[in-house]
Structure 1
C-alpha cells in the first residue's frame, strides 16, 4: 500500500478509484502526496495526522488541535512545474563539465543562482513566492490585497504545532515573531524537547513544536518561513532576497488579521547578533559563519535525541554491520549529461510494477553492473536502478551511506533524502571541507572516496569507516534526512519489511531527472498482490494475430492481393 506508480502498483487511472488500507501506526505528523510527475509540487498533497492515544509522561502539557495548527509549507511557482522543469533544461543547456555559473545566458534563462550560508547552491529553479496552507503573498502584491492563513491561540495556553515540508525545491527557516519554539518531534517521533528560535525544514521533513501564547500588547504576530538563500559572493542576504519567504499570521484570543499591523511589522525581524545569538535546529551545514548571530551547535539532526527509548529488539546492531550489509549512494550531478543521479545513474521508472507483477518482468530494464561505472555504449546510465537486500539479511542491520559529492562539476547541493518503507536511525552526519576564514564548503569530506567523475558507488576512504559511528536507544529516528553539501549521512535500520521501496531526493526536479532508485527488500518474503489488482505494462502482438483478429468476424475490409499491412509498436517512457 505504498502507492508509488510503477514500483508498488500501477498509477491510479483517470476516472477510477483505489482504496488504501493500512494500520494507523506510528503516530505523529505525516502527509500524503502524488508521485506522478510534478503533481505534488503543483498541489496534490495533504496532511495525514495520526493522533496518540496517550502522550508520553514527562512532556509538557499542551493542547493538540491538528485541524487548527498544522502548517504545510510550499514554494509556489507562477508556472506549472513541468513547464518550469523543461525551461530549466533549455536555459542551462547542461554543458558537460561546466560549472553552472559559467553557462552562457540564453533567452530562456531567468535565474541567477543563490547560495546557502556555506556557499553551496540552493535551488535549480527561480523562487517566485511561498504559501502556507495554500495562502501567501508575492512581493509585488500589496498587503491589503494579500490572502494569508491564520492560526488562533488563547493567551496563557500551550499548543502543539505541526510543520510539513511540502516544498518542491527550497528549504525554509521557520520562525514566529515574538515567540520561542519548543521542538518536540520529527517525522512521527517525539524527541527530547529543545528550545530554538528557528527550525530548518526541507521538503519531505516534518517537525512538531510547542508554542506558549505568553505575549502581551499585540494580537497579530507574523509567522515566517524564509529560504536559506544568500548572495553567493558575500554569503549575506541582500535586499532582493528579503522577499524569499512565506508568511502567515498567529492570532491571539479570537482576533482577526490586521493587515496594516502585519505590513508595519514585516520588515522588523528577530534580532540575531553576537549578543543575541539565535539557535537554529536542523542546519544542513556544520554552522553559520562566526558572528552571524545564528548558531547550530548541538542542534544538528544527529544531535537530537528521542524522548522515548527504542526497545532493544527494535534497535539496529550497528556494531555488527559489515561490507555485505552496507550500501553507498552518492546523490550528485556527475552524469554524462550534467543531470541528477545516484552513483552516476539516472533512474527511470520500469514499464510494470515489480511489486505487483514480478521482478522478472523488468529484468531487461535494470541497470547492469552496479559495481562499475555506467557504460554509455550499453545505455547503462539511464535505467531502473535497483539494489537487492537478500533473504540472508532478514532481521539484520542494514546501513546506507548517503553522500553529496560533486567531484567534477565544481558546485554542491544539500539533498533531502527520503526512504519509503522504513524509518531509520541517523547514526552520523559528516560534513564537507570548509574554508575556515569564510565558512565556505570548498571540497568533499575526506571520509569518503569516489572516482573522477563519481559514477559508481563510493567507498570509505581506505576502506575504513569513521570510528565515531554509534547508536543508542535515544538515537534520532526519521524517514527523511538532509545530506549536507560535500558531506554524508549514515543511517541504520533493520531489514524487516519485505517490499519494493523508493529511495529518492525529495527536491522535485532532482527526482524527475533521475536522483532515485529502488530497494528490493527480502523478495522471497514479499506478499503477492490482492486479487483483481490492476495491471500495467507493455502490449505486443504479431501480424499473424492481427490478421486472425481482422478476419475473425467473417467480414473483409477490401484488401487487395498485393496489400501491405503496416503495424506500429508504440512505447511510452513514464516520467516520475
Structure 2
C-alpha cells in the first residue's frame, strides 16, 4: 500500500510539473516576464500562472531548526507564521500566496488546481477586478461558477483592470482565513498615475498583507478573528526556549528595507476580521490611493484598514539611519477575540544594524485616516478625502433606483433548529440560533451558479423577506443606483463585486436608529451628499450606529455578490446579489463551462426500480419514513 501511495505521489508531481511548462508559477515576481515597466499607450502581454491549492502545516519538519537557526526559517517549504504548528491552506506552498504584478490591460490567465485532498471545492475571487466582459471569471462560488472539484483545475482568463492594489483569495468556505490569499498588483504607466511624481520606488517587497491569524484552522470551527496578528503571514505568538540556556527566541518578523532619502510606495491589504491601524514610528504616511483608486494625497500618522480594504501610501526615508517599528494595531474599542493588540514589522534603513528597534511603546495621537469610529478625535473619514478622478456627471443627477439596506443580526427560537419530537430536551428546544442578515433576509448560496444556471434553480430559493433564503435585487443596465447602508450594532466591511462605488454620504446615528428613521431623515432633507470628486471604494467599513451612502452606474451586467467581508458574517448570511441587466445583456457563456447542482431521475419518482428482474419499491423520502402510529 505504501508503495502504491508513493507511485501516486510521483505521478501527481510529474503532472503538476508538466503544467509549469505552460503556466509559470509566481514564486518570484521579478523573474516573471510580465513584471516590467508599464507603458501608455499599453503594450499588453498575456500573463500565465499556475496556482496549486493544498493543505500544509506551519512550523512543519521543512522548518528544520527554526527559529533557533533563523536561516532555517527561510528554507523553501518552511512557513513559520506566528510560531504555532497548525494545518494551513497554501497556494504554491507559499503564505501569503504568489504575488501577481502585471500592467494595466494585460490579459491574465491563472490555472488553479484543487489539491486539497479532502473533497472540498475551491474558487478564487479576484478582489476588485471588475471582470467587464468576463463576469464568469469573478470566482464567487455558486454565484458565477461551480467550485473547482478535487484533483481538477479551472483556468481563469480576464483583463487586468482597473489598475491599483488589488488582491486574490479563495471564495469558498473559510479558506481565505486559513491561508488562500495573495496580492494582485496592477501597475500603471507613470503618465497614467496622477501621484507617480511623489515616489521613487514601487517594489513588490513593499506590499503588506495584514491579518488576524488563528492558532487553529478556521475551516472546521469558524475561527476568523484569531489569536495574534500577522504582517505578510509573519508574527510572534509562540515562544521557544533554547535547551542550553534560558534564552527565549521567536519566529522572524517581516522586514521592509529602504535607502536613506528615497521615497517608497507601500501597498497595504487588509485580510482581517478586526479593524486594524497601520503606522510607522517617526514617519508620516502620505496616502495616495484607496482600494486601488488614486486620491488627492493626504499626510497622516495612521491608517485604518478594514477587511478587504487597501490603502497605498508614500514613505519618505528622511530619518536617521536605523530601525523603526512598522505597527499594526487593533483599533481602540474594536472587539477582537482573545484580546489582540499589536504586531510589529521592522522598517530598516540601509546601513542600520540588524536588530530590533528599541522603544516598544506605541505612539499616541496624530491624524488617522479611515478610523473605525467616525467620531474618533483627529479622524479623517472617507467623505473628507477627494478622488483624483472627477465624479461622472450621471452620478450627480437624481438616481434611477435607490435601495436602503439594513445590516444586522438576529436570533431564532430553538424550534427553527430542533424538532421537539426528536429533541425533547428543554435546553435544546429553548435554544436560539443567531444569524446575520441584509434587511432581515439571511443569505443562502443557491445549489447552482446564478450566472450560468438560473433556469436550474427553484424560484422558491428567492424571496423578499424571511431567513436563510437567497435574495437578489434587479438593476436595469445603465441606470444610476444609490444604496444606503445602515448598521445599528456591529461594524461590517461591505464589499461589492464587479464595481467601484462613489462614497457620497457618511453619518453617525443615535443608538437605536432604524433604517426607517434614516429614510425619514433623508426625506426631510437632513442627509446631504458629496457629489464632487467622491472617493472610489469597493469595500466600505460601515461602523456600528452609522449610515453610508454610495452611488454607481450599473454598466457592467452580471450577478454581483454584495456581502460583508468578515467571513463569519458572510457564512452566516450577510449578503445579497445585485442582478445588473438581463440575460440578453451578458456575453455568451464560455464553451464547456462547468455545471453543477441537484440531480434526480424522473423515472424513480413515478415507477418501481427493477433490480435483478424483480420489482423494488423506491425509497421513501425521510419525512415519510418517520414513525407511523400503530395500527393496533
User: Is this a same-fold pair by TM over 0.5?
Assistant: yes
1:163 to 256, 268, 282: 268
SS in 1 for 2:367: strand
Residue 342 of structure 1 corresponds to which residue in structure 2? 438
Residue 330 of structure 2 corresponds to which residue in structure 1? 227
SS in 1 for 2:289: strand
Report the Cα offset of residue 227 of structure 1: 0.5
Q: TM-score, normalised by structure 1?
A: 0.74
Report the Cα offset of residue 156 of structure 1: 0.7
Report the Cα offset of residue 231 of structure 1: 9.0
Say if 1:72 and 1:133, in contact at 8 Å, map to a contact too.
yes
Residue 419 of structure 1 corresponds to which residue in structure 2? 496
Residue 265 of structure 1 corresponds to which residue in structure 2? 359
Say if 1:335 and 1:344, in contact at 8 Å, map to a contact too.
no
SS in 1 for 2:288: strand
Residue 449 of structure 1 corresponds to which residue in structure 2? 516
1:182 and 1:545, CA in 2 relative to 1: closer, same or farther beyond 3 A? same
1:431-463 deviation per Cα after TM superposition (whole angstroms, max 9, x unaligned): 122xxxxxxxxx0458x426xxxxxxx734474
1:333 aligns with 2:414: no
1:131 aligns with 2:230: yes
Q: How far apart, CA to CA, are the structure 1 residues paired with 2:472 and 2:240? A: 47
Q: How far apart, CA to CA, are the structure 2 residues paired with 1:224 and 1:511? A: 28
Residue 185 of structure 1 corresponds to which residue in structure 2? 289
1:462 and 1:479, CA in 2 relative to 1: closer, same or farther beyond 3 A? closer
Q: TM-score, normalised by structure 2?
A: 0.68
- Within 5 Å, give how 1:143-292 maps onto structure 2: 144-167=249-272, 169-218=273-322, 220-230=323-333, 244-253=341-350, 255=352, 257-258=354-355, 261-262=356-357, 264-266=358-360, 268-270=361-363, 272=364, 277-288=365-376
Q: How far apart, CA to CA, are the structure 2 residues paired with 1:540 and 1:247? A: 55
Q: How far apart, CA to CA, are the structure 1 residues paired with 2:564 and 2:334? A: 25
SS in 2 for 1:449: helix
1:511 and 1:141, CA in 2 relative to 1: closer, same or farther beyond 3 A? farther
Residue 429 of structure 2 corresponds to which residue in structure 1? none
Residue 388 of structure 1 corresponds to which residue in structure 2? 474
1:340-395 deviation per Cα after TM superposition (whole angstroms, max 9, x unaligned): 1111111000001120112562412112xx2xxx3xxxxx31101111113xxx32
Report the Cα offset of residue 565 of structure 1: 4.5
Q: How far apart, CA to CA, are the structure 2 residues paired with 1:384 and 1:231? A: 30
Equivalent residues, number: 458
Q: How far apart, CA to CA, are the structure 2 residues paired with 1:462 and 1:193? A: 31
Residue 419 of structure 2 corresponds to which residue in structure 1? none
2:619 to 525, 543, 566: 566
Residue 580 of structure 2 corresponds to which residue in structure 1? 521
Report the Cα offset of residue 514 of structure 1: 0.3
Structure 1's unaligned 5+ residue stretches are 88-124, 289-293, 375-379, 406-411, 434-442, 451-457, 571-576
Residue 10 of structure 1 corresponds to which residue in structure 2? 146
Structure 2's unaligned 5+ residue stretches are 1-136, 242-247, 413-432, 624-632
Report the Cα offset of residue 126 of structure 1: 5.8
Residue 39 of structure 1 corresponds to which residue in structure 2? 175
Say if 1:66 and 1:162, in contact at 8 Å, map to a contact too.
no
SS in 1 for 2:324: strand
Report the Cα offset of residue 560 of structure 1: 5.1
Report the Cα offset of residue 135 of structure 1: 0.6
SS in 1 for 2:185: strand
Report the Cα offset of residue 413 of structure 1: 1.2
Report the Cα offset of residue 256 of structure 1: 6.4
Q: How far apart, CA to CA, are the structure 2 residues paired with 1:58 and 1:222? A: 26
Say if 2:194 and 2:294, in contact at 8 Å, map to a contact too.
no
Residue 485 of structure 1 corresponds to which residue in structure 2? 544
Residue 107 of structure 1 corresponds to which residue in structure 2? none
1:193 and 1:139, CA in 2 relative to 1: closer, same or farther beyond 3 A? farther
Q: How far apart, CA to CA, are the structure 2 residues paired with 1:26 and 1:154? A: 30
Q: How far apart, CA to CA, are the structure 2 residues paired with 1:256 and 1:532? A: 58
Q: How far apart, CA to CA, are the structure 1 residues paired with 2:283 and 2:352? A: 18
1:62 aligns with 2:159: no
1:460 and 1:40, CA in 2 relative to 1: closer, same or farther beyond 3 A? farther
Q: How far apart, CA to CA, are the structure 2 residues paired with 1:141 and 1:132? A: 20
Say if 1:540 and 1:569, in contact at 8 Å, map to a contact too.
no
1:362 and 1:187, CA in 2 relative to 1: closer, same or farther beyond 3 A? farther
1:250 and 1:343, CA in 2 relative to 1: closer, same or farther beyond 3 A? same
SS in 1 for 2:561: strand
1:267-312 deviation per Cα after TM superposition (whole angstroms, max 9, x unaligned): x222x3xxxx410000132223xxxxx511xx201111112434xx
SS in 2 for 1:334: strand
1:500 aligns with 2:554: no
SS in 2 for 1:222: strand
Say if 2:410 and 2:435, in contact at 8 Å, map to a contact too.
yes
Say if 2:167 and 2:182, in contact at 8 Å, map to a contact too.
yes
More strand by share: 2
Q: How far apart, CA to CA, are the structure 2 residues paired with 1:19 and 1:75? A: 30
Q: How far apart, CA to CA, are the structure 1 residues paired with 2:581 and 2:219? A: 35
Q: How far apart, CA to CA, are the structure 2 residues paired with 1:502 and 1:254? A: 48
Say if 2:321 and 2:349, in contact at 8 Å, map to a contact too.
no
1:351 aligns with 2:447: yes
Say if 2:504 and 2:534, in contact at 8 Å, map to a contact too.
yes
1:14 and 1:58, CA in 2 relative to 1: closer, same or farther beyond 3 A? closer
1:54-106 deviation per Cα after TM superposition (whole angstroms, max 9, x unaligned): 25456543133341100001100011113332x8xxxxxxxxxxxxxxxxxxx
